[in-house]
Amino acid sequence: MRFATWQEDGIVAAGVVGEHGLHALPPELTVLDLVRAGLPAALEAGTAALSTPPVPLGSVRLLPPLTPPTIRDFCAFEEHVEGMMQGTVGKPDVVAEWYEAPTFYFTNPYAVVGPYDDVPTPSGTERLDYELEVAVVVGADGASLTPEQAPDHIFGYTVLNDWSARDLQAREMKVTLGPAKGKDFATTLGPWLVTADELEPYRDAEGFLALNMRVSVNGELIGEDLLSNMGWPFEELLSYASRNTWVRAGDLLGSGTTGNGGCLAELWGRNGELSPPPLRAGDVVEMTVEGIGTIRNQVVAGAELPLVRPARPRPRTRERAS
């Protein structure tokens, strides 16, 4: 089943994607409510909603399927790491630590945008980039889950574009923190949330979801990969995220960027130049993931903000003046 959130005539509604359009849930229910109720209850509510009159998809603005309380974004594709390392250190050597555990960072849930919304260029960047990913939505609370327990805590999947300002990100990460402002200006989710049972037919013999993933810019195919090229399946990402802490229903875990053109920075590293060029206002980025759907965002000019004030010269005073 596919759950969506949309806006029509200023009113936000949630519901099920059917053959002839969108079928609304009772107005007090959100997709996050359904996730927190658990997959069996959500499927029951969705089945009931299918009996309501459909709303044509073309008559509404699709919003992110849910606003997750937290977003952890992993780095689970070895090929992506190789390309990024080529660009930063001049050779595609993946550090040994990458293989030891699935690394992630927290990003900003307040910056989530809809599957067809415009994305303003963040102030101060000249190297705007996309990142093609799939995200899993946690369906039940849990702590220190084993990989064997994790499938019972997965509700469903959606497409994720982890927009990145590569020049801002590079500066921040030299301080051994971040990324922060290099990432938290926009994250696209959508077009809907597909329940986990729908994607089981794509699971391969090693336990990975073999979904085709494609990204184009202005109609030109730039990258294509299989989700099954991840270094760890989502169940192990979820298990790691929950180590010594809690994950809650509605939390979102990104796969990290695919290889083979899943972002421009990977290609810049391999090509030794900014080719294809960074994104500019007017560019349209479209991502399609097999079994889930398509998101499409146009880059638009963002607000010009004041320059950031640099730090003052560091003082060394040890005592207060009398």
Is the pLDDT score of 28 beyond 90? yes
- Single-letter amino acid, residue 288: T
Query: H-helix or E-strand containing 49?
Result: helix 39-49
Q: Tell me: do 10 and 156 sit in the same domain.
A: no
Task: Please give the C-alpha separations between residue 95 and each of 30, 78, 92, 247, 263, in angstroms, as whole numbers.
Answer: 42, 10, 9, 28, 20
- Residue 12 · residue 27 · CB < 8 Å: no
Sign of CA dihedral 20, 199, 245, 190: negative
Nearest residue to 295 (alpha-carbon basis) of 137, 62, 66, 107:
62
- N- to C-terminal Cα separation, the chain: 70
147, 239 Cβ separation under 8 angstroms? yes
Is residue 75 located within the same domain as residue 125?
A: yes
Sequence-ordered list of residues with C-beta below 8 angstroms from that of 222, at least 6 positions apart, any chain:
215, 216, 261, 264, 267, 276
Assigned token pair, 214:
């494609």
Domain span including residue 211: 71-300
* 198 and 180 share one domain: yes
Residues 134 and 233 in one domain: yes
Q: Are 142 and 275 in contact (CB under 8 A)?
A: no
Residue 225 sits in a domain whose CATH number is 3.90.850.10
Could you tell me if 223 and 99 lie in one domain? yes
With respect to residue 112, please indicate whether it lies within any of the assigned structural domains: yes
C-alpha distances in Å from residue 314, one per residue of 175, 176, 311, 321: 16, 19, 8, 17
pLDDT at 192: 98
Condensed to tens digits (0 to 9), the pLDDT of residues 293-315 reads: 999 999 999 999 999 999 999 88
How many domains, the chain?
2
Q: Are residues 41 and 129 in the same domain?
A: no
83: left (phi over 0), alpha (psi -120 to 50) or beta: alpha
What does R_g of the chain's alpha carbons equal in angstroms? Answer: 21
Say what the pLDDT of residue 321 is: 84
Examine the domain organization and report whether 56 and 89 are in the same domain: no
Q: Would you say residue 268 has pLDDT above 90? A: yes
Amino acid at 223: G
Is 309 within the bounds of a domain? no
Indicate if the pLDDT at residue 189 is higher than 90. Answer: yes
Domain's final residue, options 63, 95, 111: 63
With respect to residue 321, please indicate whether it lies within any of the assigned structural domains. Answer: no
Averaged pLDDT of the chain: 96
Residues 56 and 95 in one domain: no
**310 in a structural domain:** no
156: in domain: yes
Specify burial of residue 190 (Cβ count, 10 A radius: 0-12, 13-18, 19+): buried
Q: What is the pLDDT of residue 89?
A: 82
Q: Do 201 and 107 lie in a common domain? A: yes
Task: Check residue 263 and give its pLDDT.
Answer: 98
Domain boundary among 35, 63, 91: 63
Which pLDDT score is estimated for 8?
A: 96
Instruction: Give the span between the Cα atoms of 275 and 94, in whole angstroms.
Output: 22
Q: Which two tokens stand for residue 265?
A: 């920075």
Residue 134 lies in a domain: yes
How far lies 296's CA from each of 173, 243, 254, in Å?
29, 35, 18
Share of the chain above pLDDT 90, in %: 94
118 and 21, same structural domain?
A: no
- Average pLDDT (191-205) is 98
pLDDT at 322 over 80: no
Residue-wise pLDDT for 77-119, tens only, equals 999 999 999 988 888 889 999 999 999 999 999 999 999 999 9
Residue 118 shares a structural domain with residue 197: yes
Closest CA to 204 of 179, 226, 174, 225: 226
pLDDT category at 52 given cuts 50, 70, 90 is very high
Q: How confident is the model at residue 244 (pLDDT cuts 50, 70, 90)?
A: very high
